[in-house]
Amino acid sequence: MRGKISKKEVEMQKPWQEFEDFIAKALSGKKTPGSGNRRIKGDIAGNRFLVECKSTESEFMDVNTEWFSKIKEACLENGTYTAIPVVALGFAPFEERSTVLFIPYTGGLGTDKDLSSFGSFRISKRALIPGVKYLLSSGPWVAFSIREFKDLLERLQDAQ
């Protein structure tokens, strides 16, 4: 990974690159070479997680449920998670309140939104609510804020 990005380079970045940089910094992760199209899948890798980043400058985002399946598959090895699969959705301007991280959950808490029969769904910036549980074709996922996810990582670290 190269050094700091200059102000001029930041101004020239595409929005998706800006979002990846934002998530990498917020989670203390590293951008993966080739942005996930090589051996390491996902856009951001950390000690315990792998993130697929999706962003928009629009008020709405069409979310492809395949993103969730692919990152989940990339984190599974012989039926066991080697990392926490995360899908990060962000709306410009990229900041904590316009970003939600989705991770799979196994709790028997039910779901708030059953989208399991859809290949995609549309979500608005205002609908990004941490704690909402979604049932997708790849299983149940729950939305976390960046702060909540970092707290989860700390609790996992303390449990070791």
The single-letter DSSP state of residue 126 is G
Residues 6+ away with beta carbon under 8 Å from 84:
48, 49, 50, 75, 103
- The model's pLDDT over 105-153, given as tens digits with 9 standing for 90+, comes to 876 666 778 888 889 999 998 888 888 888 888 888 999 999 999 999 9
Give me the pLDDT at residue 51, please.
96
- The model's pLDDT over 30-60, given as tens digits with 9 standing for 90+, comes to 998 876 566 667 999 998 999 999 999 999 9
Calculated CA dihedral for residues 142, 22, 41, 16, nearest 10 degrees: 100
Ranges of each domain in the chain = 7-159
Domain 7-159 has CATH 3.30.1150: no
Q: Which two tokens stand for residue 90?
A: 């962000």
Give me the pLDDT at residue 97, please.
85
- The model's pLDDT over 15-35, given as tens digits with 9 standing for 90+, comes to 889 999 999 999 999 998 876
Q: Is the pLDDT of residue 3 over 60?
A: no
Q: Is the pLDDT of residue 1 over 50?
A: no
